[in-house]
Amino acid sequence: NAGVTQTPKFQVLKTGQSMTLQCAQDMNHNSMYWYRQDPGMGLRLIYYSASEGTTDKGEVPNGYNVSRLNKREFSLRLESAAPSQTSVYFCATQGTGGLPGEQFFGPGTRLTVL
């Protein structure tokens, strides 16, 4: 039972390159989230998916796209990376059986854009 997994763990990109961050969960949760974490700013929501087939923007969606491929997988894509997107990215899930707001986090992807 792996919980929430993210790949890759680390990535270095050059400005303008594209990449996709992968997130998968085996918790059978409906809701999935992508956050970015920057020093002194806590976590900020990029996009979320309340259920398979739906996605919505969060607080900082610009420069990102997402795909909810199925119930298990939620990917985050950077089409043209910029240095401002250097951050640590976390995927999280939330189930219907638990308390609203109780989320489970993956280990994070550390992205550097040069």
Partner 1 sequence: AQSVTQLDSHVSVSEGTPVLLRCNYSSSYSPSLFWYVQHPNKGLQLLLKYTSAATLVKGINGFEAEFKKSETSFHLTKPSAHMSDAAEYFCVVSDDRSSNTGKLIFGQGTTLQVKP
Choose, by CB under 8 A, the member of 33, 34, 64, 74 that binds partner 1.
33
Distance CA 68, CA 88 (A): 20
Choose, by CB under 8 A, the member of 19, 55, 65, 108 that binds partner 1.
108
Choose, by CB under 8 A, the member of 17, 22, 30, 55 that binds partner 1.
30
Angle at 44 between CA 5 and CA 111, to 5 degrees: 55
Distance of CA 74 to the CA centre of its chain: 7
Choose, by CB under 8 A, the member of 2, 14, 40, 53 that binds partner 1.
40
User: Beta partners for 104?
Assistant: 93
Q: Is 100 in the site for partner 1 (CB under 8 A)?
A: yes
Nearer to partner 1, 22 or 31 (CB): 31
The CA–CA distances, whole Å, from 67 to 24, 41, 42, 46, 98 equal 12, 26, 24, 13, 24
Q: Which residues bind partner 1 (CB under 8 A)?
A: 4, 30-31, 33, 40-45, 48, 50-51, 58, 90, 92, 94-96, 98-108
